[in-house]
Amino acid sequence: MSLVRDLADQIIQAHKGDELCIPLPQFSMSSPPPRIDNEAATDHYELAGALAAIEMGFIESDAKVLGKAWSRMTLHDGGFNPFKWPSRPEQFDLLPWMRNMNPNAFKECPKRLGLYGVMPDADWVKRMVEAELPTVQLRFKSEDRYKIRKQIKESVKAVEGSKTLLFINDFWEEAIDAQAYGVHLGQEDLDTADLEKIRAAGLRLGLSTHGYAELAHADRFCPSYIAMGAVFATNLKKMPTAPQGLGRLYQYAKLMSHYPLVAIGGIDQESIHVVAKSGVGSVAVVRAITQAKDPKAAVKHLQALMQT
């Protein structure tokens, strides 16, 4: 175990300044610390990579994925180099197919979706069309099926004849009925949504991810785009993981560069430029638009900040 400990320490020391580390959560009887499976590991490098990841604040599922990636990278390179960081698809066992070779791939969307506004209702969608926002998501919260259908139909009508692309959050059946451009689903929706029905209807699919394990899981479905976050802290939605930060976002963007990518979570005019520099083709915002005194002007300003 001393060899594993030494290798893990080398990884941590090599990357402690890369903004990949986040504070460890408080552990308790109901929330125990992550475990490392010594029996299933391929070699010392997998164990060291997983151990280092845990001590850098990665959740258990991400640490397991990273451990395997460190093992594969070391084997491929012919030696251990703690100053590198796994960043190639094959190191994470991502599917090697190109989209046009995968019969189950969802319909394509633009590689760069630009500024992506997440809006609470159809009225806001209409305002974003008038502001010429490239991409908008309707995130309407209700259990009233009539209101949901009405909001989606109004939103689809609002973008007709415009260049604004509309994704519907969660309500994939209503989105199909209204012939929306696409739907956006969370990881928790993958077990219940009829993905074949969404694919057959020709809708684009965006998937939320919150770390390496979910990125690898999302890749299995070959969605139209992948959203990555939360980059920063946000109060708008209860997140399953701590804010990922810029260091991790930059690594995620490098690994998943073959996809259209959307960065999301707590992004505002102060941070949007450095987020856009990560390599993502889209940055999602909520309050930076909805709480602006002049939302239309905010759209223009945010777009300019993405490009400077």
- The 10s digit of each residue's pLDDT in 43-86 is 999 999 999 999 999 999 999 999 999 999 999 999 999 999 99
Nearest of 284, 288, 291 to residue 301 by alpha carbon: 288
Say which range, 20-24, 112-116, 122-126, 157-161, has the weakest mean pLDDT.
20-24
DSSP 3-state of 173: helix
| pTM, full prediction | 0.94
Amino acid at position 229, single letter: G
Spatial CB neighbours of 25, under 8 Å, sequence gap ≥ 6: 31, 57, 242
| Tokens of residue 229, six digits | 């976050």
Residue 95, pLDDT > 80, answer: no
pLDDT in tens, 144-176: 999 999 999 999 999 999 999 999 999 999 999
pLDDT in tens, 24-52: 777 677 777 777 777 677 899 999 999 99
CA distance 122 to 139: 9
Residue 238: C-alpha distances to residues 18, 31, 142, 242, 271 (Å)? 26, 17, 17, 10, 21
* Count, residues in the chain: 308
